[in-house]
A and B are shown apart, each in its own frame.
Chain A
């Protein structure tokens, strides 16, 4: 037999190896949990970013668009708006309770715009002024919205003024739309890439009809409604849906127009980003499954190596339950340590991403969920190895070399 020093040496060596094995097993869980935390954080960050920007236009608006809300689905080509809205609809909404102000609007899809010598094509919105000041909560960098009857003024979104043309269009300058001159009476503040009126050009609705060649038409493309307060939105929306359905002589469930509110838009956005988060989380979750296999493997090896130990434990009276608990505890611990380190790393990278300007948001709830998940994952993967250990018969286990 070797000397004591050598035995100690071998024992340490053995432990070092087992330590290495435990750390490698934990590392697998670390990577899995970190990637789940990180990817879900990016999905959640995107969600917050979009919702933040959407909320910059306030929460008391209702926008009506022609077209049934029940037709969805992916399609190629331009969107089709079934149904139509009429000036009379906008006037009827004005009389509904809970409604503060209403603006009807028409959209010229492709208008020819000229500033100095440069020509380009963009959409132009012709709007009644009434509700627009309330609606454009993003605020004005300079000037204000058109006053009623101002047929020669234009209001520009921030991008439309700053970057649309080579030269910046400033307050008071003149632009030409479909052959008619308009003086810039207001420039909006910058919204964000997801909201945004940044690219919009507003003119008076009556003039828009003239230059869009729809004079005499009663049809409109949008109705902007501002409710008395954010609390009134829901009731006002329902009243509007009932009233317009009645006017269009269609049942409420088959209405040929849609109403969008801050809540409904944010809900739609939430659905999409949640789907993204779940998808990314699931793909990252695959690595957690691989990590689980790793735990199971390490535990099986550990049971094998400690067969004699288990035999002794059983010989001195430990029952199956006690043995199971020893190994389950070890597996859960691996899971918890891996989960904690993984969540910390994932959270750290997420904060780093956020600091670099990328959308990323980690909620405490999700981190807590991941910690719980890692314990569950550890316990689950420890189940079969611990059962194997518990079922060893003492005599055979003691004989094991």
Chain B
């Protein structure tokens, strides 16, 4: 018996037990489809978050005090460690940096326009560096802060449009903790700026009352040259600040964030989510594989005589195993193809309804390969059982 004949024989067997085969396949279809759908959802989420982050541009580095991800509990973020103007100055001349700004923030302050007010996160910045950063997004009206403008403020789009009862326009006066500021410009809509309120860092200092540390800053924002690799620049910044703080790199009291590091963190989170969802959906595939085993056992039982004949005319154990294994593999394969097709269709529907869903070619291939493997595994014991039947007894079986 050659390979083709073995497969043909398997197909024949399937045809006779059509309904049973289709139901068995249906089990695999449902299992594979749910794996494909859920993993595609997780990957779609991952992709849409990535796109948002890459939209901010990838040529920046942020230096934060402490490690903001280490806190591990709810409540306000704690930033262990501190950064100073000297840190900013020490890395200003690192090659590849085209803009750098110390940032100071008093946290949430009262922000008022006419009679309505809200709690805004105000950031004090160095205008030259930020002008460069905001350029890619552009201004909807007015312009970014210039030089030493201590009375101007620039607003993110959503702040200007929706924060107050009335829309704020360029040229209007707003109050930050009761100090008047003139709106110099409003940034185009962009997720990275929509909620931001920028003033000059010297102007922001009046809202912070630290008399002991006039040089203390909240964080450092760095823009690197377009097209230049960010990592080596970030490494040099890291080394320099660690030296300033007289700490070893391993126990540094500050952290660096680049587009790359943020993406890596997000990738890790969504990777975990994919695995978790895939595993939960995988339970149904396990049940499906039990269905395959069950249907194969029944098939072996029904064809006991047939197996006896095959063995009587000289079929070796290996051939019998191959026949049943190929049958199980075909169930897996058909189920896998059907499952992937169903999964793709549902994912396509999700996308039509605006849900993030991304089916990769790897996922499609993995779905089919896994289902064939599952089929083979599920078919193994029934096939072995068939192969070990004694020809004489099998022939005598009714």
Contact = CB atoms under 8 A, between A and B. Distances in A.
A31 B286 contact: yes
Given A178-B209, A179-B211, A21 B119 contact: no
A17 B297 contact: yes
Contact of A293 (B23, B76, B118, B281): B23
Interface in B207-245: 207-213, 216, 218
Interface in A295-331: 296-298, 300-301
Interface stretch (A55-63, A115-123, A264-272): A115-123
Contact of B30 (A31, A120, A212, A290): A290
B397 A287 contact: no
A178 B210 contact: yes
A275 interface: no
A108 B106 CA distance: 8
B107 A110 contact: yes
Interface stretch (A74-82, A144-152, A233-241, A362-370): A74-82
Interface stretch (B7-15, B136-144, B287-295): B287-295
A276 to B, nearest CB: 12
A25 B74 contact: no
B186 to A, nearest CB: 16
Interface residues of B, number: 78
A179 B178 CA distance: 23
B177 A83 contact: no
A39 B398 CA distance: 46
A26 to B, nearest CB: 10
Contacts of B75: 196-200
Contacts of A31: 283, 286-287, 290
A372 to B, nearest CB: 20
A63 B159 CA distance: 26
Nearest to B119: A81
Nearest to A108: B107
Contacts of B396: 2, 6
A4 interface: no
Interface in B110-146: 110, 112, 116-121
Contacts, number: 225
A175 interface: no
A129 interface: no
Q: By CB atoms of chain B within 10 A, which of A6, A213, A214 has the most?
A: A213
Interface stretch (A88-96, A135-143, A278-286, A353-361): A278-286
Q: By CB atoms of chain A within 10 A, which of B23, B52, B75, B117 has the most?
A: B75
Q: By CB atoms of chain B within 10 A, which of A119, A197, A210 has the most?
A: A119
B82 interface: yes
Contacts of A296: 23
Contact of A120 (B23, B66, B106): B66
B78 A164 contact: yes
B170 to A, nearest CB: 20
A229 interface: no
B191 A76 contact: yes
A283 B209 contact: no
Interface in B382-398: 396-398
Contact of A290 (B119, B192, B208, B291): B291
A176 B213 CA distance: 12
Contact of A14 (B117, B216, B301): B301
B108 A109 contact: yes
A67 B118 contact: yes
B195 interface: yes
A119 B294 contact: no
B298 interface: yes
Given A108-B107, A213-B206, A290-B288, A297 B24 contact: yes
B298 to A, nearest CB: 5
Contacts of A123: 76, 107
A112 interface: yes
A6 B209 CA distance: 98
B290 A28 contact: yes
B280 A17 contact: no
Q: Which 3 pairs of residues, A with B, have the shortest CB-CB distance?
A: A109-B107, A287-B284, A77-B195
Interface of A: 2, 6, 10, 14, 17, 20-21, 24-25, 27-28, 31-32, 35, 39, 66-67, 75-78, 80-84, 107-112, 114, 118-123, 159, 164, 176, 178-179, 193-200, 210-214, 216-217, 219, 221, 256, 280, 283-284, 286-287, 289-291, 293-294, 296-298, 300-301
21 contacts: A21-B298, A24-B290, A28-B287, A80-B159, A80-B163, A112-B82, A120-B65, A120-B79, A122-B76, A164-B80, A199-B73, A199-B75, A200-B75, A212-B106, A213-B207, A216-B178, A217-B178, A286-B283, A290-B288, A291-B287, A294-B294
Interface of B: 19-20, 23-24, 26-27, 30-31, 34, 38, 52, 65-66, 71-82, 105-110, 112, 116-121, 159, 163-164, 177-178, 191-192, 194-196, 206-213, 216, 218, 277, 280-281, 283-288, 290-291, 293-295, 297-298, 301, 396-398
Given A31-B290, A219-B110, 6 more contacts: A24-B294, A31-B283, A121-B66, A179-B213, A286-B281, A297-B291
